[in-house]
Amino acid sequence: MSDHEEFEQQNLKSIQAMASDSHMAELTRDWFNYSFKHRYSYHFKWMGMPIIQYPQDIIAMQELIWEIKPEYIIETGVARGGSLVFYASMLKLLGGDRKVIGIDIDIRQHNRERIEDHPMYDFIDLVEGSSIDQSTFEKVNSIVKNSAGPVMVALDSNHTHEHVLRELELYSNFVTPGSFLVVFDTHCEFLPEDLLSDRPWGVNDNPYTAVKEFLAQDERFERVPFEDKFQITAAPHGFLKRL
Protein backbone atom coordinates (compact mmCIF):
# COMPACT_ATOMS: atom_id res chain seq x y z
CA MET A 1 0.00 0.00 0.00
CA SER A 2 1.42 3.42 -0.93
CA ASP A 3 1.93 6.13 1.67
CA HIS A 4 -0.94 8.09 0.11
CA GLU A 5 -3.33 5.10 0.27
CA GLU A 6 -2.35 4.48 3.89
CA PHE A 7 -3.03 8.14 4.73
CA GLU A 8 -6.45 7.95 3.04
CA GLN A 9 -7.35 4.75 4.93
CA GLN A 10 -6.37 6.29 8.26
CA ASN A 11 -8.56 9.28 7.44
CA LEU A 12 -11.49 7.06 6.52
CA LYS A 13 -11.24 5.35 9.90
CA SER A 14 -10.99 8.57 11.90
CA ILE A 15 -13.90 10.09 9.93
CA GLN A 16 -16.05 7.01 10.65
CA ALA A 17 -15.14 7.21 14.35
CA MET A 18 -15.95 10.94 14.44
CA ALA A 19 -19.27 10.40 12.62
CA SER A 20 -20.42 7.90 15.22
CA ASP A 21 -19.24 10.00 18.20
CA SER A 22 -22.40 11.39 19.82
CA HIS A 23 -20.43 13.91 21.90
CA MET A 24 -18.90 15.35 18.72
CA ALA A 25 -22.40 15.57 17.19
CA GLU A 26 -23.70 17.40 20.24
CA LEU A 27 -20.79 19.87 20.31
CA THR A 28 -21.16 20.51 16.58
CA ARG A 29 -24.91 21.09 16.82
CA ASP A 30 -24.54 23.41 19.82
CA TRP A 31 -21.75 25.39 18.16
CA PHE A 32 -23.62 25.59 14.84
CA ASN A 33 -26.86 26.77 16.41
CA TYR A 34 -25.06 29.30 18.56
CA SER A 35 -23.02 30.64 15.64
CA PHE A 36 -26.28 31.12 13.68
CA LYS A 37 -27.39 33.70 16.27
CA HIS A 38 -24.28 35.73 15.43
CA ARG A 39 -24.88 35.57 11.65
CA TYR A 40 -21.55 33.73 11.45
CA SER A 41 -21.94 32.68 7.80
CA TYR A 42 -22.17 36.34 6.70
CA HIS A 43 -18.67 37.26 7.91
CA PHE A 44 -16.45 35.99 5.08
CA LYS A 45 -15.19 37.09 1.68
CA TRP A 46 -13.86 35.35 -1.41
CA MET A 47 -11.56 37.55 -3.52
CA GLY A 48 -13.12 40.64 -1.93
CA MET A 49 -16.77 39.58 -2.39
CA PRO A 50 -19.04 38.69 0.56
CA ILE A 51 -19.72 34.93 0.50
CA ILE A 52 -22.60 33.78 2.70
CA GLN A 53 -21.28 30.31 3.58
CA TYR A 54 -19.70 28.40 6.41
CA PRO A 55 -15.97 28.11 5.52
CA GLN A 56 -16.19 24.29 5.73
CA ASP A 57 -18.72 24.35 2.88
CA ILE A 58 -16.32 26.39 0.76
CA ILE A 59 -13.74 23.62 1.24
CA ALA A 60 -16.39 20.96 0.50
CA MET A 61 -17.27 22.68 -2.78
CA GLN A 62 -13.58 23.06 -3.64
CA GLU A 63 -13.11 19.29 -3.20
CA LEU A 64 -16.10 18.54 -5.42
CA ILE A 65 -15.18 21.05 -8.14
CA TRP A 66 -11.63 19.65 -8.33
CA GLU A 67 -12.98 16.08 -8.52
CA ILE A 68 -15.70 16.75 -11.09
CA LYS A 69 -13.98 19.46 -13.16
CA PRO A 70 -17.31 20.86 -14.37
CA GLU A 71 -17.75 22.70 -17.62
CA TYR A 72 -20.72 24.47 -16.04
CA ILE A 73 -21.76 25.18 -12.47
CA ILE A 74 -25.34 26.45 -12.07
CA GLU A 75 -26.03 28.33 -8.85
CA THR A 76 -29.41 29.61 -7.71
CA GLY A 77 -29.07 32.49 -5.19
CA VAL A 78 -26.30 34.98 -5.97
CA ALA A 79 -26.78 37.60 -3.19
CA ARG A 80 -23.53 39.64 -3.06
CA GLY A 81 -21.68 37.39 -5.49
CA GLY A 82 -19.07 35.72 -3.23
CA SER A 83 -19.97 32.11 -3.97
CA LEU A 84 -20.31 32.91 -7.68
CA VAL A 85 -16.81 34.43 -7.74
CA PHE A 86 -15.48 31.48 -5.71
CA TYR A 87 -16.85 28.97 -8.26
CA ALA A 88 -15.56 31.15 -11.13
CA SER A 89 -12.07 31.23 -9.58
CA MET A 90 -12.02 27.44 -9.30
CA LEU A 91 -13.13 27.14 -12.95
CA LYS A 92 -10.33 29.50 -14.00
CA LEU A 93 -7.79 27.36 -12.10
CA LEU A 94 -9.08 24.27 -13.92
CA GLY A 95 -8.38 25.97 -17.26
CA GLY A 96 -10.27 25.73 -20.54
CA ASP A 97 -13.78 26.95 -21.38
CA ARG A 98 -15.92 26.80 -18.24
CA LYS A 99 -18.62 28.98 -16.74
CA VAL A 100 -20.70 29.47 -13.65
CA ILE A 101 -24.29 30.58 -14.26
CA GLY A 102 -25.67 32.63 -11.36
CA ILE A 103 -29.45 32.95 -11.05
CA ASP A 104 -31.13 35.44 -8.72
CA ILE A 105 -34.59 36.95 -8.59
CA ASP A 106 -33.09 40.33 -7.66
CA ILE A 107 -29.55 41.22 -8.72
CA ARG A 108 -29.20 44.64 -7.16
CA GLN A 109 -27.42 47.23 -9.31
CA HIS A 110 -24.47 47.68 -6.90
CA ASN A 111 -23.98 43.90 -6.65
CA ARG A 112 -24.19 43.50 -10.43
CA GLU A 113 -21.58 46.24 -10.92
CA ARG A 114 -19.16 44.63 -8.44
CA ILE A 115 -19.60 41.22 -10.09
CA GLU A 116 -19.20 42.65 -13.62
CA ASP A 117 -16.06 44.57 -12.56
CA HIS A 118 -14.50 41.52 -10.90
CA PRO A 119 -11.43 39.86 -12.52
CA MET A 120 -13.36 36.53 -12.49
CA TYR A 121 -16.28 37.93 -14.52
CA ASP A 122 -15.10 36.22 -17.75
CA PHE A 123 -16.16 32.94 -16.11
CA ILE A 124 -19.62 34.16 -15.02
CA ASP A 125 -23.06 34.42 -16.68
CA LEU A 126 -25.79 36.22 -14.72
CA VAL A 127 -29.47 35.35 -15.19
CA GLU A 128 -32.03 37.51 -13.40
CA GLY A 129 -35.39 35.92 -12.59
CA SER A 130 -37.02 33.47 -10.23
CA SER A 131 -35.19 30.16 -10.45
CA ILE A 132 -38.48 28.27 -10.77
CA ASP A 133 -39.90 30.37 -13.62
CA GLN A 134 -40.00 28.47 -16.91
CA SER A 135 -38.40 31.45 -18.70
CA THR A 136 -35.41 31.39 -16.31
CA PHE A 137 -35.04 27.64 -16.75
CA GLU A 138 -35.16 28.08 -20.56
CA LYS A 139 -32.43 30.75 -20.43
CA VAL A 140 -30.16 28.41 -18.45
CA ASN A 141 -31.02 25.54 -20.77
CA SER A 142 -30.05 27.59 -23.82
CA ILE A 143 -26.59 28.15 -22.30
CA VAL A 144 -25.96 24.61 -21.03
CA LYS A 145 -27.72 22.43 -23.60
CA ASN A 146 -24.72 21.97 -25.91
CA SER A 147 -22.18 21.37 -23.16
CA ALA A 148 -19.93 18.35 -23.57
CA GLY A 149 -18.49 18.34 -20.05
CA PRO A 150 -19.81 17.72 -16.54
CA VAL A 151 -22.43 20.02 -14.99
CA MET A 152 -22.79 20.70 -11.26
CA VAL A 153 -25.69 22.47 -9.53
CA ALA A 154 -25.83 24.38 -6.21
CA LEU A 155 -29.21 25.49 -4.83
CA ASP A 156 -29.06 28.45 -2.43
CA SER A 157 -32.04 30.75 -3.12
CA ASN A 158 -35.48 30.70 -1.47
CA HIS A 159 -35.38 27.96 1.19
CA THR A 160 -39.06 26.90 1.41
CA HIS A 161 -39.93 23.24 0.79
CA GLU A 162 -42.10 24.02 -2.23
CA HIS A 163 -39.51 26.26 -3.88
CA VAL A 164 -36.54 23.92 -3.35
CA LEU A 165 -38.53 20.88 -4.48
CA ARG A 166 -39.40 22.67 -7.73
CA GLU A 167 -35.74 23.71 -8.16
CA LEU A 168 -34.71 20.09 -7.60
CA GLU A 169 -37.21 18.88 -10.20
CA LEU A 170 -35.97 21.42 -12.75
CA TYR A 171 -32.22 21.69 -12.20
CA SER A 172 -31.52 18.02 -11.40
CA ASN A 173 -31.94 17.45 -15.14
CA PHE A 174 -28.73 19.37 -15.83
CA VAL A 175 -26.56 17.31 -13.46
CA THR A 176 -24.42 14.85 -15.40
CA PRO A 177 -23.75 11.28 -14.16
CA GLY A 178 -21.08 11.24 -11.43
CA SER A 179 -21.57 14.95 -10.73
CA PHE A 180 -23.23 16.65 -7.75
CA LEU A 181 -26.33 18.60 -6.87
CA VAL A 182 -25.70 20.49 -3.62
CA VAL A 183 -28.64 21.82 -1.62
CA PHE A 184 -27.69 24.47 0.93
CA ASP A 185 -29.52 25.35 4.16
CA THR A 186 -30.84 21.84 4.83
CA HIS A 187 -29.56 22.65 8.35
CA CYS A 188 -32.82 24.62 8.92
CA GLU A 189 -34.49 21.33 9.88
CA PHE A 190 -32.15 21.00 12.86
CA LEU A 191 -32.25 24.59 14.19
CA PRO A 192 -34.34 25.65 17.19
CA GLU A 193 -37.61 26.91 15.68
CA ASP A 194 -37.34 30.41 17.18
CA LEU A 195 -34.15 31.13 15.19
CA LEU A 196 -36.14 31.03 11.94
CA SER A 197 -39.31 32.79 13.13
CA ASP A 198 -38.62 35.78 10.81
CA ARG A 199 -38.25 33.58 7.68
CA PRO A 200 -40.86 32.04 5.34
CA TRP A 201 -39.18 28.63 5.93
CA GLY A 202 -38.74 26.71 9.18
CA VAL A 203 -38.64 23.27 10.73
CA ASN A 204 -40.69 20.86 8.51
CA ASP A 205 -40.64 23.34 5.62
CA ASN A 206 -37.13 23.77 4.27
CA PRO A 207 -34.49 22.38 1.87
CA TYR A 208 -34.03 19.23 4.01
CA THR A 209 -37.71 18.25 3.70
CA ALA A 210 -37.55 19.01 -0.04
CA VAL A 211 -34.46 16.79 -0.47
CA LYS A 212 -36.21 13.99 1.40
CA GLU A 213 -39.26 14.15 -0.88
CA PHE A 214 -37.09 14.48 -3.99
CA LEU A 215 -34.93 11.44 -3.15
CA ALA A 216 -38.04 9.35 -2.50
CA GLN A 217 -39.28 10.07 -6.01
CA ASP A 218 -36.04 10.28 -8.04
CA GLU A 219 -33.74 7.27 -8.21
CA ARG A 220 -31.06 9.03 -10.25
CA PHE A 221 -29.52 10.54 -7.11
CA GLU A 222 -28.02 9.27 -3.88
CA ARG A 223 -26.98 11.17 -0.76
CA VAL A 224 -23.25 11.33 0.02
CA PRO A 225 -22.77 11.94 3.77
CA PHE A 226 -20.20 14.73 3.46
CA GLU A 227 -21.26 16.01 6.87
CA ASP A 228 -19.51 12.97 8.39
CA LYS A 229 -16.16 14.62 7.74
CA PHE A 230 -17.06 18.30 7.62
CA GLN A 231 -19.32 18.18 10.68
CA ILE A 232 -19.95 21.92 10.45
CA THR A 233 -22.01 22.47 7.29
CA ALA A 234 -25.13 24.32 6.19
CA ALA A 235 -25.89 21.37 3.89
CA PRO A 236 -26.30 18.20 6.00
CA HIS A 237 -28.02 15.58 3.79
CA GLY A 238 -27.67 18.11 0.96
CA PHE A 239 -24.80 16.59 -1.07
CA LEU A 240 -26.52 14.52 -3.79
CA LYS A 241 -24.60 12.50 -6.36
CA ARG A 242 -26.06 11.71 -9.78
CA LEU A 243 -25.60 8.02 -10.39
Ligand X SMILES: C[S@@+](CC[C@H](N)C(=O)[O-])C[C@H]1O[C@@H](n2cnc3c(N)ncnc32)[C@H](O)[C@@H]1O
CA dihedral sign of residues 167, 80, 102, 153 = negative
State which of residues 77, 150, 207, 238 lies at the interface with ligand X (CB under 6 A).
77
Q: State how far the Cα of 226 lies from the Cα of 68, in Å rounded to an integer.
A: 15
Q: Is 186 in the site for ligand X (CB under 6 A)?
A: no
Nearer to ligand X, 13 or 43 (CB): 43
Question: Taking contact as CB under 6 A, which single stretch among the options 13-21, 63-71, 78-86, 117-125 is the one that binds ligand X?
Answer: 78-86
* Least distance to ligand X, CB of residue 131, Å: 4
Question: Taking contact as CB under 6 A, which single stretch among the options 64-72, 80-88, 187-195, 225-233 is the one that binds ligand X?
Answer: 80-88
Q: Is 79 in the site for ligand X (CB under 6 A)?
A: yes
* Least distance to ligand X, CB of residue 56, Å: 13
Map the footprint of ligand X across residues 53-72, applying CB under 6 A. Answer: 53
Q: Is 105 in the site for ligand X (CB under 6 A)?
A: yes
Q: Is 52 in the site for ligand X (CB under 6 A)?
A: yes
Q: Is 126 in the site for ligand X (CB under 6 A)?
A: no
Nearer to ligand X, 150 or 207 (CB): 207
State which of residues 28, 89, 158, 209 lies at the interface with ligand X (CB under 6 A).
158
Nearer to ligand X, 97 or 226 (CB): 226
Q: Is 82 in the site for ligand X (CB under 6 A)?
A: yes
Phi, psi of 240, rounded to the nearest 5 degrees: -110, 130
Q: Is 156 in the site for ligand X (CB under 6 A)?
A: yes
**What's the per-residue H, E or C state across the chain?**
CCHHHHHHHHHHHHHHHHHCCHHHHHHHHHHHHHHHHCCHHHCEEECCEEECCCHHHHHHHHHHHHHHCCCEEEEECCCCCHHHHHHHHHHHHHCCCCEEEEEECCCCHHHHHHHHCCCCHHHEEEEECCCCCHHHHHHHHHHHCCCCCCEEEEECCCCCHHHHHHHHHHHHHHCCCCCEEEECCHHHHHCCHHHHCCCCCECCECHHHHHHHHHHHCCCEEECCCHHHHCCCCCCCCEEEEC
* Least distance to ligand X, CB of residue 220, Å: 23
Q: Is 76 in the site for ligand X (CB under 6 A)?
A: yes
The binding site for ligand X (CB under 6 A) comprises: 51-53, 76-80, 82-83, 103-106, 130-131, 156-158
